A and B are shown apart, each in its own frame.
Chain A
Amino acid sequence: MRLHYSNQQLGILAIVLVIAIGISSWLDSDLRIQQRIAGKLWSYQRQTLSQSELASLILSTPIENWREQGHLRLLSNGEAQLDIAVQLQELQGPTADLRISIQGSWLLSDGFLILKSSHYTALPFNDSGKQLLARHAQPLRDIWLTLFNRSRPIFLLDERHILLNNQGDSLWVLSTQKSANIYRVAK
């Protein structure tokens, strides 16, 4: 095609350019990330393979092993719920089994996922958990709410994994399964 630099050619090119810039901006936008993460159930497992210093300090007892399995629901209406099964093992002691549930809201802004809690529940699942909660209910609540109420940079690793950068370079990767989407049920 011979170039005439006509109004028509310039107009078509301008439209294509606007579309290309629009798509590129959308790909890099919070909106795209929001569409990818909303309405899904995100799961993870986390384990501290050494003495957990923060927990040991706050609970005033050496925590040898910290293991958690969590599910984070990020609903499209901005509500969030984190359900965690936690196992805390005191030094040469029994393992306390707890279920923590935190409800709140989530927001995505400038590439940061901001979680805010509004309700916290902790339930013991064995005797050690019951004793731990009886002794340290408030410090445990402080730990979990501190961990939850943060803004973290969010990165899409691929279709099914997101990475949240905690303070420093600590990592929190969550996965979603195809079948784990939160489906709407028709009335």
Chain B
Amino acid sequence: MRVHLEQDEVSALLERQAFAPSRWRRVLFWLQITLLVLSCGYGVHLYRQQSSPDPQALLLRWQQGNKQVVDDPALTRCLLAWGQARQLPPAVQLVISATPDAWYLVWISAEESFNFSIKGHIQELCR
């Protein structure tokens, strides 16, 4: 086994050591990369949230400033039938919200929005 290094190998090693990036540069670089990924992810999330409704989510529940997708086909069918009986235009999205003594339904079509305030509980409409 060869234990001695050639002169040019030693020079290369010394040069590499001399010009190696300092630790803080590496830390700074990876910190920037992390922040970049986080800010891009946040930006994409905001853009998607604001630019188009979720095409799969026809029925949303609004609660304390947050929207939740309601996966309840029976309730969705009931509300759609209710709106069709009132001759409302085809719904793009339905938003519901409840307060202690009333509930709210917003029927959103491509061009218009219809806001309904209904006393009681939503289940009473869709029994």
Contact = CB atoms under 8 A, between A and B. Distances in A.
Nearest to B114: A45
Contact of A24 (B21, B43, B98, B112): B43
Contact of A47 (B40, B65, B116, B120): B116
B28 A158 contact: no
Given A5-B29, A17-B35, A175-B108, A50 B118 contact: yes
A169 B62 contact: yes
Interface in B79-127: 93, 95, 97-99, 102, 104, 106, 108, 111-120
Interface of B (DSSP majority class): mixed
Contacts of B52: 158-159
Contact of B108 (A14, A155, A157): A157
Interface residues of B, number: 43
**Contact residues of A: prevailing secondary structure:** mixed
B64 to A, nearest CB: 7
Interface of B: 21, 25-26, 28-29, 32-33, 35-36, 39-40, 42-43, 46-47, 50-53, 62-65, 67, 93, 95, 97-99, 102, 104, 106, 108, 111-120
5 contacts: A27-B46, A46-B114, A46-B117, A47-B115, A173-B108
